[in-house]
Amino acid sequence: MKGEGWRVDLSFTRFVMKKHVVIGVTGGVACYKALDLIRGLRRTGLSTEVVMTKEAEEFIRPILFQAVSGNKVMRGDLFNLPEEWDVAHVSLADRADIVIIMPATANMIGRIASGICDDMLTCTVCATSAPVLFVPAMNSGMYKNKIVQENIAKLKKAGYHFTGPVKGKLACGAKGIGHVQDAEVIIQEVRRLIA
Ligand SMILES: Cc1cc2nc3c(=O)[nH]c(=O)nc-3n(C[C@H](O)[C@H](O)[C@H](O)COP(=O)(O)O)c2cc1C
């Protein structure tokens, strides 16, 4: 029926308009791809907020994520004095309808799998009751490492979600498994998890 597609899309847009996505950006080469993901999520009608690790800030400055996400960027340090009193990682964890870690470094996967809570992102992930989606991206050797694989298996068993990595050209120039998942596939997974 003519116009039926519009009705379906509009109801989904109304549904997602109330949904808030927290994107944890870590220190991997693929962190620039989080910018495309955020733009895609916002086009779908979702609101976005970024939390960066201090290593991610070595790759990209927070101001760019602030401009693209439309919200203030939360930074790694837990002990920054907020302008108004707020336990930032707890309120961030509560605001999230979903947390995406994109890219998820081997280091971040290991820290969360070990229950380490030593910065804004690890504390937020630990405190949230929202679904958490990891988007790993790393060199093939790192991805195939037995301990990294055990950490991923442990997180999956605990109910965390993963998409990718896929095979492709890696930052080191080699081809293989470890390339970050496409933004469109991640967005489909987000839609599934928040629906
Ligand atoms: C140039 C460069 C590129 C890196 N790329 C990756 C990567 O793609 N994936 C990864 O797991 N680690 C990568 N690392 C290592 C991480 O930056 C390092 O483990 C860091 O401690 C991660 O911190 P975070 O997980 O708290 O953000 C890279 C390091 C450098 C210097």
- Domain ranges, ordered by start, for the chain: 4-194
Q: Which residues sit with their C-beta closer than 6 Å to ligand 1?
A: 26-30, 53, 55-56, 105-108, 137-138, 142, 171
Least confident of 84-93, 95-104, 127-136, 169-178: 84-93
- The residue behind tokens 């309808």 is 97
CA angle 100, 102, 104 (to 5 degrees): 105
Q: Whose CA is nearest to atom 13 of ligand 1?
A: 28
Q: What is the pLDDT of residue 87?
A: 74
pLDDT band, residue 10 (cuts 50/70/90): low
- In angstroms, rounded to a whole number, what is the distance separating the alpha carbons of residues 25 and 5? 34
- In angstroms, rounded to a whole number, what is the distance separating the alpha carbons of residues 122 and 120? 6
CATH, range 4-194: 3.40.50.1950
- In angstroms, rounded to a whole number, what is the distance separating the alpha carbons of residues 177 and 49? 29
Measure Cα distances from 112 to 6, 71, 127, 171 in Å: 41, 25, 11, 24
Sign (positive or negative) of CA dihedral 44, 26, 132, 65: negative
Q: Which helix (H) or strand (E) holds 194?
A: helix 183-194
Instruction: Kindly report the pTM of this predicted structure.
Output: 0.91
Please tell me whether the peptide bond between 103 and the residue prior to it is cis, using omega within 30 degrees of 0. yes
Q: How far is the CA of 76 from the centre of ligand 1 (A)?
A: 15
Catalytic residue check, 172:
yes
Q: What is the pLDDT of residue 111?
A: 98
Mutate to test the pocket of ligand 1, among 33, 55, 147 (most ligand atoms within 8 A of CB): 55
- The residue behind tokens 């791809």 is 33
Q: Whose CA is nearest to atom 5 of ligand 1?
A: 28
Q: How far is the CA of 105 from the centre of ligand 1 (A)?
A: 6
Residue 185 clears pLDDT 60, i.e. is over it: yes
